[in-house]
Amino acid sequence: MSADKSLQDQIIQKAWEDAEFKKKLLADPKAAVKEAFGTEIPDSLEVEVLEETDSKKYFILPQSPKSVTSSDNLGFPAWY
C-alpha cells in the first residue's frame, strides 16, 4: 500500500471514529488534516470533503492523464 493511500485510509478511519474530527474535516479539511496528521496541504490546492449517505453517492472523475503535468502534483497525494 502506498504512503498516500495509507494517509487517506487513516483520515477516513479517524473520521468514522472521531465525530469532532469528522465535523472539522467537513468544514475545514486542510486544518483538520494538518492538526490530526501533521500534513500541510498547499494553499494552491483546493480540497473539498463530501460525505456519502444511503441516498447520495459521488462519482469522482479524475483529471485526464494527458492533461497532467509534473507541476500539477504540487507535492500532495493524488487520491484516486
- pLDDT tens-digit map of 42-80: 999 999 999 999 999 999 998 898 887 765 555 555 553
Q: Measured between alpha carbons, how far apart are the two ends of the chain, in Å?
A: 13
What is the pLDDT, as a whole number, of residue 80?
Answer: 37
